[in-house]
Amino acid sequence: MVQLRGSLASAILLAMAITVAASPRSYHGYRLVNAVPRSAEDAAELRALATWTGVDMWSRRAAPGATVTFMVAPGAAQRRVLQRLEELGVPYSLGEHDVQSLVEREARDQTRSRALLRDDAGSSVRFDTYMRHGEIEQYLAELAAKYPKLVTLHSVGKSYEGRNMTAIRVSLDGGNAPRAILVDAGIHAREWIAPATALYLINRLVEHADEHQALLQGLDWYILPVVNPDGYEYTHTKVRTDITHHHYLVQTLFLTKYSRTNQIKSSRPNYFITTNKILVPRAKISSVLNLVIWTKRSSGCRFWRKNRGAKRETWLKWLWDLLCEPGADLNRNFGFHWMQSGASSYPCAETFAGKKAFSEVESQNLRDFVLNANKDKRFKMYLTLHSYGPMILYPWGYDYRVEPAPDAKQLADIGNEANAAMVKAGSEPFEVENSAELYPAAGGSDDWAKGEADIAKSYTIELHGGGSQGFDLPASRILTSVQQTFEGLKVFASHAREL
């Protein structure tokens, strides 16, 4: 009987822990660590670090001499990471010690810039704030209604949580141009400047079509501004509650209920006795709560990268969900050399590639849309927008030491020309590189587009970073960034027309 009651107590404890863990998360105590690898071996060690639980590599690059930024969860993860860096002898410095303060600063900026919004000649597009997915959908619908000759919307499908994935086609002659270019953005949730850049491109091509006829002559544009709408919305979720506070509150309530209210004192100071005469070690309760909350906190909202699918179908699902939230890295889920390198089969990892190639509905939708729209092989170029760089990357990305793409030189030349145009517009220079040299990663949409979907030229563009030093480019800098990038997109388009 005592044992049975004991199980009941554990169940209550667990239920309380789950309730607490389900509260909004915060990034209190998360810190940024900047390490500088001295050699290729160091860089490889740092990439290995990135697969640890509680460690999130923010930099795309891990190469000798370049700073690699990690966000590290508080507690054991931070201790282990710093210890590892000491062991390796890799020089490092500690950055922001409380990522939550960055998130809150950014949220205040957003609120401020929203308050300053003006109606811009009847258009609902904004470049002084990051638009939400619903607002983006609404903008696309407005364009379709206002410019029926120029614009057609394509439903690419629904996301895991049922949001629309809508692509816009901009075409002077009803989708019959001899060539087409495909641009997408937001495959990674937290890279907010990417959808904003796609929106600026749409805005220029549609609402300023007169000025940009050259971009539309002989070339149809297909633009999908948000590939991962669930993740994108998740990163916009307000995070205000301090979970640590709840944690102590629940712990106190629990201890009060079982040790104080019942007025049964144990003779052993570190134990207490419940009314059912069960001896419970205080430390055990504390560590169970700590474990549950710490693991839950290791994933997050504003800096969520993956989709919101990849749900686990096992009777241990609830336990998995406590360890980490479900989600796959869509840019590791494409079916070209899937899982060959730079991806993880561990569901909690930031680079979890999914259970199999195209296991995720968003990557399936994009695949089916591309294969269907490109039946006549008109698609000559694919640009997928990410952050942060700035970098222009071309295939192959799936592994080290593979034969370069046969047209690697041409890919690099076009990239360099685009970079020059952006620099001329005031941008800091983009590094133009073969993707795998930088960071081999299989299952990317760029490799798949070139390798499987017959799109000759394919690029990943890592847009401007900012804010704390990465994904949180302040809203006040959106316009400058998208204007500079647009100059590069024009160069890509000029080549797409000639391929």
Q: Which of 104, 403, 462, 487 is catalytic?
A: 462
Q: Which is nearer to Zn ion, 57 or 293 (CB)?
A: 57
3-state SS, residue 383: strand
Site for Zn ion in 171-190 (CB under 5 A): 188
Q: With CB under 5 A as the rule, give the number of residues binding Zn ion.
A: 2
CB 463 within 8 A of CB 364: no
Closest CA to 219 of 415, 453, 493, 492: 493
Q: Which is nearer to Zn ion, 380 or 386 (CB)?
A: 386
* Ranges of H-type helices in 256-381: 282-297, 317-323, 361-373
How many residues are there in the chain? Answer: 499
Least separation in angstroms between residue 387's CB and Zn ion is 7
Query: Nearest 5°: phi and psi at 207?
Result: -85, -10
Pseudo-torsion of CA 77, 83, 85, 89, nearest 10°? 180
DSSP letter for 402, please.
-
What would the x/- binding string for Zn ion be over residues 379 to 418, using CB under 5 A? -------x--------------------------------
Least separation in angstroms between residue 224's CB and Zn ion is 15
What would the x/- binding string for Zn ion be over residues 188 to 227, using CB under 5 A? x---------------------------------------
Strand-strand pairing, 379-387 and 457-463: parallel
Counting Cα atoms < 13 Å in the Cβ hemisphere of 461 gives 33
3-state SS, residue 233: helix
Among the residue ranges 154-162, 378-386, 437-445, 471-479, the one whose residues contact Zn ion (CB under 5 A)? 378-386
Q: Name residues whose C-beta falls within 8 Å of residue 121's C-beta, 6 or more positions apart in sequence.
A: none
Burial of 124 (0-12, 13-18, 19+ CB in 10 A): middle
What would the x/- binding string for Zn ion be over residues 434 to 473, using CB under 5 A? ----------------------------------------
List beta partners, residue 179: 219
Q: Name residues whose C-beta falls within 8 Å of residue 447's C-beta, 6 or more positions apart in sequence.
A: 334, 336, 337, 395, 396, 397, 398, 435, 458
Q: Which is nearer to Zn ion, 45 or 191 (CB)?
A: 191
Least separation in angstroms between residue 349's CB and Zn ion is 15
Q: Which is nearer to Zn ion, 188 or 308 (CB)?
A: 188
Query: Nearest 5°: phi and psi at 255?
Result: -65, -35
3-state SS, residue 93: strand
Q: Which is nearer to Zn ion, 188 or 204 (CB)?
A: 188
Site for Zn ion in 69-128 (CB under 5 A): none
Least separation in angstroms between residue 29's CB and Zn ion is 25
* Ranges of H-type helices in 298-434: 317-323, 361-373, 408-424
Least separation in angstroms between residue 200's CB and Zn ion is 18
What would the x/- binding string for Zn ion be over residues 287 to 316, using CB under 5 A? ------------------------------
- When asked if residue 163 is in the footprint of Zn ion (CB under 5 A), the reply is no
Least separation in angstroms between residue 40's CB and Zn ion is 23
Q: For residues 31 and 96, give the distance between their C-alpha atoms in angstroms, rounded to a whole number.
A: 6
Q: Which is nearer to Zn ion, 31 or 188 (CB)?
A: 188
What would the x/- binding string for Zn ion be over residues 7 to 46, using CB under 5 A? ----------------------------------------
Least separation in angstroms between residue 386's CB and Zn ion is 3
Q: Which is nearer to Zn ion, 13 or 383 (CB)?
A: 383
Least separation in angstroms between residue 191's CB and Zn ion is 5
Q: Which is nearer to Zn ion, 194 or 478 (CB)?
A: 194
Residue 437 annotated among the catalytic residues of the structure: no
3-state SS, residue 490: helix
CB 292 within 8 A of CB 318: no
Which two structure tokens, joined as six digits, stand for 37?
């690898």
Q: For residues 487 and 495, give the distance between their C-alpha atoms in angstroms, rounded to a whole number.
A: 13
User: Can you tell me which residue has the tokens 């640890």?
Assistant: 52
Name the residues annotated as catalytic.
Answer: 462
Residues near Zn ion, by CB under 5 A = 188, 386
